[in-house]
Amino acid sequence: MFIEDVTLADCTRVRPGKTMTKVWRLKNAGAVPWKGYSLRRLDVTQQADQCQTIPDVPIKDTQPGETVDIRTVITTPKKPGLCYVRFKMVDASGAVVFPGSRPINFQIIVDGN
């Protein structure tokens, strides 16, 4: 379950060509431990005009009821625009864990001013 954006709230304005860390806070609200899970980027073929991230963001093993902060490094494109990047949680075998749920995402504005 998504709890909050710890860093880079949606529509945060950032400069072109900047590298920063995005942190989400999630809670394991189920009954199964998250072991070997990651967030897999949905648009894996990254274009030059998109924010760049690693394709699979590891999630620390998380027991039911625990919260976890998930971090990834983002590099913004060199030109202004909107970065909207989506991830789905996958298990250790690569299978999507919650196929019907909304993706975990970030949305930032790359501002040249």
The confidence band for 75, taking pLDDT boundaries of 50, 70 and 90, is very high
Q: Residue 5: beta bridge partners? A: 24
- Other beta carbons within 10 angstroms of residue 17's beta carbon come to 11
Name the pTM for this structure: 0.91
**Would the pLDDT of 113 be above 80?**
no
pLDDT given at position 77: 94
* SS3 label, residue 2: strand
For each of the domains in the chain, give its residue range(s) and CATH number, in order of start. 2-110 (2.60.40.10)
Average pLDDT over residues 78-88: 93
CA atoms within 13 Å, Cβ hemisphere of 106: 32
pLDDT given at position 88: 96
Taking the mean position of all CA atoms in its chain, how far away is CA 32? 21
Average pLDDT over residues 61-74: 97
**Would the pLDDT of 33 be above 70?**
yes
Pinpoint the alpha helices (H) of the chain: none
